[in-house]
Amino acid sequence: MSTPTAPNRLARLLGVEVPIVLAPFGGLSSVELVAAVSQAGGLGSYGLYGYDGDRIRATTAALRAATDGPFALNIWLPTGDEVAPAPAHVAFAQALAPFYEAVGVDVPAIPARYLPALDEQLEAIWEAAPAVLSVVYGVPSPAIVEEAHRRSIRVIGTATTVAEAVALEAGGVDAVVATGAEAAGHRVSFLKPPEQSLVGALALVPQIVDAVSIPVIAAGGIADRRGVAAARALGADGVQAGTAFLVTAESAANDAHRQAIRSTAADESVLTTAMSGRLARGARNRAVRAIEAGGGIAPFPVQNWLTGRFRAAAGQQNLGELQSLWLGQGAPLATRDTAADVFAELAAGL
């Protein structure tokens, strides 16, 4: 396959001035941060994990009021192994009782559903008509791709291996994010277990560039102009940055989370299933250590929903030891306090 020849190929595809993409944060996205990146000329992305149709509509309305630039809406595709609510899950909730007690909330009852249906999310997304629909954990169905394109919505997939990137291109996506093992948050592998798909960005990006003809967006460990320049040298059309933006004033992260990013060395972040039941990279705080030691981690999305009940309260109380402190191995490079400063620094590497 041909190697990308200019960064503006991605910019033209996405309708942006600068091929810089804000990583979508499931649970940590903010309208202010998305708008700041879009207004600066990049692609702001808003993570819709767990959002029902009404919440998607309200969020999109807020985004449109905050920016006239293009933005992406991001969803998690079902993988088929998601567990439905069941009485047996009460035991998992009881095992987390000390965490609920620590933040002053009751042990939650098992809900009627853990996640909204994909069709419900898509219906709201089609109404919203964002510039871009980005997906993780798989290849969107032909029906999704066709409907997106019918509505002039670009589709971005996410790959952790070369094989995943090839599958995404075959599925009709318009661009692919090559996300290295350094990246913060969930490892969104879908062809093999994530533990078998931990390829660093330096190796992953050029191999994906060689394997596909669609634009490639490099992600993982990119927090300043040096990372952007390296990604471009590897053949990427643009970059996606997460941790560098997560530490800014515009993000939804609280002070405890920002402090964790600033104080966690590259070799101190961990990959864990403790918080959600799926492998993700973050700080190994008290909650992660205790849940891992307990050994009774519920499957996804049970664990994510159950820990979410105390994580939300911990976030409101700025208790970092009881939150999901997602951060990447580039965390020590996340030193800028505003989205504008981060964006300018990244753009300087193009």
Q: What is the pLDDT of residues 58-114, one digit of tens each?
A: 999 999 999 999 999 999 999 999 999 999 999 999 999 999 999 999 999 999 999
Would you state the pLDDT for residue 214?
A: 98
For 70, 156, 242, the CA distances from 148, given in Å and listed in that order, are 15, 11, 25
CA distance 28 to 325: 10
pLDDT in tens, 161-202: 999 999 999 999 999 999 999 999 999 999 999 999 999 999
b/e per residue 117-150 (b: at least 16 CB within 10 A): eeeebbebbbebebbbbbbbbbbbeeebbebbee
Rounded to an integer, the average pLDDT of 242-254 is: 97
What mean pLDDT is reported for the chain? 96
CA distance 332 to 350: 21
Would you state the pLDDT for residue 327?
A: 98
CA distance 91 to 302: 11
Directed axis angle between helix 201-211 and helix 162-170, to 10°? 30
User: What does the DSSP assignment read for 269-295?
Assistant: -EEESTTTSS-EEE---HHHHHHHHH-
Model pTM score:
0.96
Directed axis angle between helix 118-128 and helix 142-150, to 10°? 20
pLDDT in tens, 115-138: 999 999 999 999 999 999 999 999
CA distance 102 to 41: 43
pLDDT for 5 beyond 90: no
Would you state the pLDDT for residue 60?
A: 98
Note the CATH architecture for domain 8-81+116-264+330-347: Alpha-Beta Barrel (3.20)
Tokens describing residue 227: 């990372």
Instruction: Please compute, for residue 58, the number of CA atoms within 13 A of its CA located in the half-sphere on the CB side.
Output: 6
Band the pLDDT of 269: cuts 50, 70, 90.
Answer: very high
> 241: closest CA among 260, 226, 254?
226
Query: Could you tell me how many residues make up the chain?
Result: 350
Contacts of 108 (CB under 8 A, 6+ apart): 93, 100, 306, 309
Helix (H) or strand (E) holding 219: strand 216-219
Strand partners, 156: 134, 175
Would you state the pLDDT for residue 2?
A: 36
Band the pLDDT of 153: cuts 50, 70, 90.
Answer: very high
Helix (H) or strand (E) holding 92: helix 90-95
pLDDT for 33 beyond 90: yes
Identify the DSSP state of 161.
S
Band the pLDDT of 295: cuts 50, 70, 90.
Answer: confident
